[in-house]
């Protein structure tokens, strides 16, 4: 019996998505790279297999990847968010969907410009329906940190209306080398997604790479 759920990362060929793919594959999770182009996804997956990851990484077209997975992660640009939600809606019913999308609006990506609905995660929950447990996470972790080796010294804020889903996402976050901090219902994703633009501005102002968030006063044992 397979002990770990299969995770599909839609947008898994991009910077954020590929970092998540790498970390979960190294932690022993079966991972599927989802992309609009099945060929591009398969090419990316073959590179992980060639690197002798603990488990082979597969590549599929977006809808098929969502269908085959137990947990689906959306890591696409905001401009592709609505189309991705529409494409996977039927495939993710009854599943956990992790929305890592941030509504950045170029060229002023360091300015908070949230959608009228409030956040990308709220849009995902409304679009996919009540049978899908949407969890917002990984908005404030730099792709370069994910691509590097070892633990990441920043926290992942996790929000969603389903407590069990939040706890599960916190667990796979720990397995990926980060602390997962439960941050309340999906409504709180508004503040979490907005923080990404602030962090981008901090990076530019202080000429740092991948500034992140750390919640003080928490012992790691509090998060287990």
Instruction: Check residue 17 and give left, alpha or beta (phi > 0: left; psi -120 to 50: alpha).
Output: alpha
For the beta carbon of residue 121, count every other beta carbon within 10 angstroms: 31
Query: What residues does 96 pair with on adjacent strands?
Result: 71, 133
Burial level of 117, CB count in 10 A (0-12/13-18/19+)? Answer: middle
Between 150 and 116, name the one with better pLDDT. 116
DSSP SS3 for 149: coil
Domains of the chain, each with CATH number or no CATH: 7-223 (3.40.50.720)
Query: What residues does 94 pair with on adjacent strands?
Result: none
Q: Which tens digits make up the pLDDT trace of 136-180?
A: 999 999 999 999 998 998 999 999 999 999 999 999 999 999 999
Q: Residue 133 and residue 154: Cα distance in Å, rounded?
A: 25
Burial level of 163, CB count in 10 A (0-12/13-18/19+)? Answer: exposed
Query: What residues does 182 pair with on adjacent strands?
Result: 158
Q: Which tens digits make up the pLDDT trace of 39-86?
A: 999 999 988 766 655 567 999 999 999 999 999 999 999 999 999 999
Residue with tokens 């410009």: 113
**Does residue 20 register a pLDDT over 70?**
yes
Average pLDDT value for residue range 109-135: 98
- Classify residue 104 by its DSSP letter: -
């Amino acid at each position: 019996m397979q002990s770990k759920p299969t995770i599909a990362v839609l947008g898994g060929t991009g910077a954020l998505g590929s970092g998540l793919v790498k970390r979960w594959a190294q932690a022993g999770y079966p991972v599927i790279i989802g992309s609009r182009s099945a060929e591009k996804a398969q090419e990316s997956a073959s590179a992980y297999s060639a690197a002798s990851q603990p488990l082979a990484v597969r590549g599929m077209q977006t809808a098929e990847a969502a269908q085959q997975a137990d947990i689906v992660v959306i890591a696409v640009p905001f401009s592709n968010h609505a189309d991705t939600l529409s494409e996977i809606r039927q495939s993710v019913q009854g599943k956990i969907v992790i929305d890592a999308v941030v509504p950045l609006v170029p060229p002023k990506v360091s300015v908070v410009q949230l959608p009228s609905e409030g956040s990308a995660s709220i849009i995902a929950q409304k679009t996919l329906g009540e049978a899908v447990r949407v969890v917002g996470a990984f908005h404030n972790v730099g792709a370069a940190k994910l691509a590097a080796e070892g633990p990441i010294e920043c926290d992942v804020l996790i929000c969603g209306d389903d407590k069990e889903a939040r706890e599960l996402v916190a667990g796979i976050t720990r397995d990926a080398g980060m602390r997962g901090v439960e941050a309340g219902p999906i409504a709180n994703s508004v503040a979490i997604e907005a923080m990404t633009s602030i962090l981008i501005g901090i990076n530019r102002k202080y000429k740092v790479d991948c500034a992140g968030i750390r919640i003080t006063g928490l012992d790691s044992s509090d998060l287990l």
